[in-house]
Chains A and B, each alone.
Chain A
Amino acid sequence: MAARALLSRRTLASVLRNDAKPLRVGFAAAAAATHSRRGLHVYTLPDLDYDYGALEPVISGEIMQLHHQKHHQTYITNYNKALEQLQSSIAKPDSSAVVKLQSAIKFNGGGHINHSIFWKNLAPAREGGGEPPKGSLGWAIDTHFGSFEALIQKVNAEGAALQGSGWVWLGLDKELKRLVVETTPNQDPLVTKGPNLVPLLGIDVWEHAYYLQYKNVRPDYLKNIWKVINWKYASEVYEKESS
């Protein structure tokens, strides 16, 4: 009797250990194996270069954690699923399923692309966040927008005016060799506005990006976020892409 109780307690413990908590890990590992056999890349959540709380008081640690661990993770999970379904639909072949998947791929793939850039665009103030761009990007901003302040005003105005969910971007048009400010709805990446557009800076204006802290006042979020913008990253991309 005692032995049986012990056994079942052990079984329970092992169930808890192996199934309950790491269920997702187990699933992901199994999925990864399938993928690699089929040669499909599995996307994973990129680490941040700073702590969740490091952007405070501009962006709270709670927002950062939820945004990174939950929102970004969900885009990645669903992007991987969509790609897997795409591969099997192509293999079948089932053209209507392939076409039907496009919106989910654009949305979830876009969500992954955009957030990956967004995290790079941010840096704690003590690590240079908010320091205006120097060098060639600084010059280009003055040339195209008049001044750095004029650029900020333009981005803030367009970001505030965007209806619903979306992104406001500073991009480089590689063809015309000029800087542009654009907005995209939902999770559309900048490239949907033009094949030659390279994102230098993207600001998430979905409500989930600021609601816990700024509630309905998106303009305040936009006004403050410049204090933690990582212009070093934008400059590096600019220099690489414009040379």
Chain B
Amino acid sequence: MNLLLPSTASSSSSLSPSALFPCYSHGFSSSSFKFSKKESRCTRKAKRTEITAKFELKPPPYPLNALEPIMSQETLEYHWGKHHRTYVDNLNRQIDGTDLDGNSLEDTVVISYNKGDILPAFNNAAQAWNHDFFWESMKPGGGGKPSGDLLKLIERDFGSFEKFLDEFKTAASTQFGSGWAWLAYKESRLDVGNAVNPLRSDEDNKLVVVKTPNAVNPLVWNYYHPLLTIDIWEHAYFIDFQNGCRNYISVFMDKLVSWEAVSLRLEQAKARIMEREEEAERKRREEEEKPTISKATPELWTQNE
């Protein structure tokens, strides 16, 4: 399934890629399609009595009306209160009493992805995780430009902040259906087999823009550390933007992105990478210190044969 492989959104050809994609529509004024906002309010309470719930539906880190007028309270009431809740409820129901029970949500995503041969719980697990990550990617009064390390890395890996914006918006607007666009910190894996890159450094890791279909997220590829995401399922923008998907993507970048959250995630990703390396290094040293045991094992095999 090539859909599930990382697809970097490059726009290197002379064809203007976004011009042929779903988000591209011209001459459309959203003002001609305004719908009544007062319809129904979401008041349903989660009915979890029969399930020994593992994962909780975390609320966004701001009130549901805090992103108005860009993202309406009505959108959040449905998107968080219904869609996100359903993913969490269904996941809890699905994993109850199975081997998947008891893992962190992140581990559940990776395990149920099962190297591409996905298990039934994957869609709900990944969507539960994606939405948590999405809410925390935004803040009231967000947008603008990042700063510090993050900005330096963006400029190093994309050329400039504007070029990054272009690439991110292109990735988001060229989805062929439901899905997500991401900024991720990609760990370099120059190690081949048992040969280790002797000069590993932070410089080898880089920022990349990727898009994923439906529920898939970069966690499943290992060595991709997600930093920012935008939900481009139609439910994310339909109430506020109708088919004005490009408009939604632009406004999201201009007014909603929490660059603080992205910076924090970058720091965490760096720390996690360092941890992993130290762990790998420790294992290597342990192996080296116990040569007799590792030699003895194959001999036992030969004897058994």
B103 interface residue per 8 A CB criterion: no
Q: For the complex, what is the distance from the CA of A23 to the CA of B28, rounded to whole Å?
A: 12
In whole Å, how far is A107's beta carbon from the nearest beta carbon of chain B? 5
Decide: A164 and B178 in contact? CB cutoff 8 A: yes
CB of A45, distance to nearest CB on chain B (Å): 13
Contact stretch, chosen from A48-56, A66-74, A137-145, A192-200: A66-74
Q: Given A97-B14, A187-B176, output 14 extra A-B contacts at Cβ < 8 Å.
A: A62-B33, A62-B35, A66-B243, A78-B19, A78-B20, A103-B176, A104-B20, A163-B178, A165-B233, A185-B177, A206-B177, A208-B238, A212-B239, A215-B235
A74-B35 in contact given A66-B243, A164-B233, A211-B234 (Cβ < 8 Å): no
Interface residues of B in 1-18 (CB under 8 A from A): 13-15
State which size class the interface on A falls in. Answer: 35 or more
Q: How far, in angstroms, from A107 to B88 measured CA to CA in the complex?
A: 31
State the Cβ distance, B114 to closest chain A Cβ, in Å: 16
Task: For the complex, give the distance between the alpha carbons of A141 and B238 in Å.
Answer: 36
Which residues of chain B in 203-262 are interfacial with respect to chain A, using CB atoms and an 8 Å cutoff?
213-215, 233-235, 238-239, 242-243
* B78-86, B156-164, B184-192, B280-288 - the one binding chain A: B78-86
Q: At the interface, is chain B mostly helix, strand, loop or mixed?
A: loop
B123 on the A face (CB < 8 A)? yes
CB of B8, distance to nearest CB on chain A (Å):
15
- Contact between A74 and B15 (Cβ–Cβ < 8 Å)? no
Which A residues touch B234, using CB under 8 A? Answer: 165, 206-208, 211
Inter-chain contact B242/A107, CB cutoff 8 Å: no
**CA A62 – CA B242 in complex, angstroms?**
11
CA of A66 to CA of B244 in the docked complex: distance in angstroms?
11
User: Whole-angstrom distance between the alpha carbons of A114 and B82 in the complex?
Assistant: 29
B134 at the interface (CB under 8 A from A): no
Contact A216 B82 (CB under 8 A): yes
Taking a contact as CB atoms under 8 Å apart, the answer to whether A100 and B15 are in contact is yes
- Pick 16 A–B contacts, CB within 8 A, sort by A: A62-B33, A70-B243, A97-B14, A97-B15, A104-B20, A107-B20, A163-B123, A164-B233, A186-B177, A207-B178, A207-B234, A207-B235, A208-B243, A215-B78, A215-B82, A216-B78
Asked if residues B35 and A71 are in contact (CB atoms below 8 Å), the reply is: no
Given known A-B contacts A70-B242, A216-B82, A164 and B19 have beta carbons under 8 A apart: no
Complex: A227 Cα to B130 Cα, angstroms: 36
Contacts of A103 in B (CB 8 A): 176
Q: Number of B interface residues, CB 8 Å?
A: 33
Q: Is B140 interfacial (CB-CB < 8 Å)?
A: no
In the bound complex, how far is the Cα of B239 from the Cα of A212, in angstroms?
Answer: 7
What is the minimal beta-carbon distance from B216 to any residue of chain A, in angstroms?
Answer: 10
Q: How far is the CA of A185 from the CA of B2 in the complex (A)?
A: 14
Q: Is B27 an interface residue (CB 8 A)?
A: yes
Asked whether B179 is an interface residue with its Cβ less than 8 Å from the other chain, the reply is: yes
5 closest Cβ contacts across the A-B interface? A164-B178, A186-B177, A207-B234, A104-B20, A165-B177
Q: Are A212 and B20 in contact (CB under 8 A)?
A: no
Find out whether the CB atom of A70 lies under 8 angstroms from the CB atom of B238. no
Chain A min CB distance to B159 (Å): 23
B19 neighbours in A (Cβ, 8 Å):
78, 81
Q: Say whether A108 faces chain B, with CB atoms less than 8 Å apart.
A: yes
Chain B 20-34 interface 0/1 with A at a Cβ cutoff of 8 Å (1 = within): 111011111000010
Q: Which residues of A are found within 8 Å of B24, using beta-carbon distances?
A: 74, 78
Please, which residues of chain A bring their CB within 8 A of the CB of B14?
Answer: 97
Bound-state CA distance A211–B21 (Å) is 21
Query: Which A residues are in CB contact (< 8 Å) with B83?
Result: 216
A187 to B213, CA, bound (A): 13
- Residues of B with C-beta under 8 A to A85: 15, 20
